[in-house]
Chains A and B, each alone.
Chain A
Amino acid sequence: MTRKVPINVRVNGTKYERMVEPRRLLSDFLREDLGLTGTHMGCEHGVCGACTILLDGDSIRSCLCLAIQADNAELTTVEGLGDIEALNPLQQKFREHHALQCGFCTSGMLMTVTDMLSKNTSLTDEEIREGLSGNLCRCTGYQHIVDAVRDAAKQAGDVSS
């Protein structure tokens, strides 16, 4: 068996200390070792964006990252946003606008948008589409997602101004 190395991460505010194989993908670590299965895998190639999470505040693709690379990092996954009984404002907008169907791409979408809106809330539709273009959705045709993001951006902008 391959040797394991220790890593320390903070995920959604909780500290974890685990032993992992150096080759273990961060996405597998999150899903299988920590049981945070909200992060999904759609391609394992960095193309679809389903596995997007935040690492120290920036969105990354957890399928392109090894668990050991996240040592000492602060991670946020979809489980770190709102709660099932208290959706956060972005999740709420996704629901209102019917921005998800099967929901498989949704976690990655939410994380990408969370990152996007943390940097800028005055976005044109074109900028929103550009920002979403690394996240594939096969169900929605994106229109309701764009609507949800526009609305969420407006709300976030209104709140902060």
Chain B
Amino acid sequence: MDINTRPKIIGARVQRREDPRLLTGNGAFVDDRQVPGMLHLAFRRSDFGHAKILKIDTEEAASMPGIIGIYTAETLNEITKPVIAFSNMKDYQATPIRALAQDVVRYVGEPVVVVVAENRYLAEDALNEIFIDYEPLENVVDPEYAASGDAVLVHEDLKSNILVAREFERGEVDEAMSSAAIRVKGRFRSRRKTAVAMETRSYLAEFEKSSQSLTLHSSTQIPGIIRDALVDILDIPGHRLRVVAPDVGGGFGGKASLYPEEIVVTALSKLLKRSVKWTSDRMEDLMSTSQAFDEIIDAELGLDSEGNLLALSADVLGDVGAYSIYPWTAALEPIQVVSFMPGPYRLANYRGKVRGVATNKPPTGPYRGVGRPASTFVMERLMDMAAGKLGMDPAELRLKNFVVGDEFPYRIGSGIVWDKSEFSECLNKATEKLDYETLREKQRIARSQGRLMGIGIASYAELTGIGSRISAAPGMPINTGTETARIRVDSSGSVIAYFGVASHGQSLETTLAQVVAEEMGVKVEDVEVVLGDSAVMAHSTGTYASRSAVLAGGAGTLAARAVREKIVEAASLLFEVPAEEIDVYDGLIHVSGTNRKMDLRELARAVYSEMGRFTKEVRENLDLEATKLYDPYFGTTTSASHIAVVDIDPETFKVKIEQYVVSEDCGRMINPLVVDGQVHGGVAQGIGAALYEEVIHDENGQVVTASLVDYLVPSSCEVPTIDVLHADTRSPSTIGGFRGMGEGGTIGAPAAIANAVADALAPFGIEINEIPISPERLYRLIEKARNSEKD
């Protein structure tokens, strides 16, 4: 077949190889694993937001049936080093995290005591018989108060509650702002969220007697980072500690940090020389898995009378919770908010100021979109407010200000560089799809009938597939910028591709097999993909920050090409023809233009097993495997425009999303089925962030939302049908032209929906400055507007 007309594997809607096992109950999630004789844990957690631990009495509990042991900081912290998330950011203050709370508890839900028992029921029975005396300290709950200097310190030995602070300015912001014909500003509030993967966190440390080694099966996104951290914390040689992420039931960032329970499970397994398991229940998950998106943002945007952006200033106060999380640090979320605020726009003058402040709440960490859902919410609200003042259509204002054509690569005010991405094309496609003009007309009619219909646009750009030039978290000294792939054709002719990344719903087993198959010239079903196992790679981190398609895809491409070259070399010797005449396709090795061919099994047999096929000199240099590292260095840009059309019920204040379009540029697609799925899921989480999801702590730091009845995750009735459009333009900056796209849906949706709701309520002059826009908040806003109308 002509090379150019061969069906491509990259870009095909290949059905997932993960599916048969997951559809039949044959998946292997951590909690599914049972090891004979394994022990179970239950944690007694803090009931206080902030308190001194005076005394812990475990005597009664220890004598209960089936109890193997009970541990507190006194006994467990002896054998585990504190975890410190380092950063080279100026003025950053780290907060050591201990396996169990030592002396002071800092949030409700913090693990204080652990019970080891023969089964979970017995472990939980014992929890009730543990008595802890606390001396309550002031609860630092309000982030502004926490930052004020009046509040007590969340960590006594720090200088202040401000763990991280940064300021930067590009251009002449004050001057530009004061010359602006149009100025819009507001105080915006994004409330605390959490990832809520359907599988709660689960850890099983298996103790292997013969080698005295441990395998931690962890529902983690970052097996490599966890392995390296635990090696230090437990002071154990790396070859005695393997971390495996098997099937993982969703992550979304919530499983991308090191957790105290993970340390406890592993430490106890090492100490007791037994296998130890712990699986979080949902209440624990809602109290102790990392949270996110908790910011107060004061921002102002200045434009000239034509609608050109002149200046932007943003002051972000991020509530980072009680600890600076490992490895990302407390800087991750708030710094990203200011860094991405200027969005996809041409804007010369920008000042960003940010502080991350500690409070008595669970630590914040990565969550899908990191910082960008909040920055996009603010910037896109400002754009709509400005369009309103200018009397200009919001789509037109955006098109006028997008970075275009020759302006790429474009450096935004925070220093981030956008490589060429289709900002304008994405928005144009979205408005076309919805027949925007007609839709606006429909809105005018709906309004005249008293209906509250709104149309909201959000455009954004994000950095994905970040290489070694910058860290995935600002100032973090861990290398998140490279990935390695190792591909091997073994003596049976099987192709096995090893990657350090992990998959928790991203379909990487399938998509990486597609990349390798196409680059090597074999069938996709012939490529076995091994992921998420610290033992198969010298170094790896994991899957987060929309990196795996770009980094693992790139490394897989390089390794596949290298193995293909070796196949060609061996075949050219066997067929006694020049290498140029060898073609590898569909798992067969041909001599071009002849019917001479062999399959991979025959080739592998000749290379590895058959004597006399090659000379000694050739054989010593001939194998069929390659290991390649890929570093995209800067990374690449992914962008999209979302448009939401909503209708608000004037009685119940329920926001119904009538239409939703995502028009995105994720570069070259590996599998469009998977891309669509990622977008749908991302938007669903963005809908949650926009309308429903909020972790609430009361003034004592107590969690009000400790079950899925109170923390509302969107169901099938709240998520509409989503139209997804693709620009599919290859990234100029990455091997394969891929751009990362796992997070985008969540970045655009809160802003698009907030704009749509504000648009629906424009007749009342209501601005939407706070998410989630719960019915209660809407009711208050509308009541206020109605009352002030009356006055």
Contacts and interface: CB of A to CB of B under 8 A. Distances in A.
A4 to B, nearest CB: 12
Contact of A138 (B22, B679, B685): B685
A83 B680 contact: no
A91 B198 contact: no
Given A85-B20, A144-B677, A77 B25 contact: yes
A78 interface: yes
B250 interface: yes
A133 B713 contact: no
Interface stretch (A66-74, A94-102, A153-161): A94-102
B14 to A, nearest CB: 10
Contacts of A129: 716-717
Given A102-B249, A102-B505, A104-B198, A38 B681 contact: no
Interface stretch (B27-35, B435-443, B732-740): B27-35
B637 interface: no
Interface string A25-54: 000000110011111111111011010000
Contacts, number: 183
B24 A136 contact: no
B197 A138 contact: yes
Contacts of B29: 37, 40, 104
B550 to A, nearest CB: 19
A115 to B, nearest CB: 15
Interface string A98-110: 1011111111001
Contact of A35 (B16, B34, B195, B681): B34
A48 B716 CA distance: 12
A7 B754 CA distance: 54
A81 B24 contact: yes
B707 interface: yes
Interface in A90-128: 91, 94-96, 98, 100-107, 110, 128
A145 B23 contact: no
B716 A79 contact: no
Contacts of A139: 198, 250, 505, 677, 681
Contacts of B22: 100, 102-103, 106
B707 A45 contact: yes
Interface string B546-569: 000000000000000000000000
A38 B708 contact: no
A145 B716 contact: yes
A84 B121 contact: no
Interface string A134-154: 111111111111100000000
Nearest to B119: A32
A104 B18 CA distance: 12
Contacts of A77: 25
A104 B249 CA distance: 5
A60 to B, nearest CB: 17
B20 A95 contact: yes
A138 B24 contact: no
A57 interface: no
B23 A95 contact: yes
A136 B681 CA distance: 12
Contact of B23 (A32, A103, A134): A103
B198 A50 contact: yes
**Most chain A beta-carbon contacts within 10 A, residue among B27, B34, B713:** B27
A103 B15 contact: no
A94 B15 CA distance: 10
Given A32-B34, A85-B20, A138 B27 contact: no
A75 interface: no
B196 A138 contact: yes
A37 B34 CA distance: 10
B128 interface: no
9 contacts: A24-B121, A39-B25, A40-B199, A81-B23, A98-B676, A101-B678, A136-B708, A138-B195, A138-B250
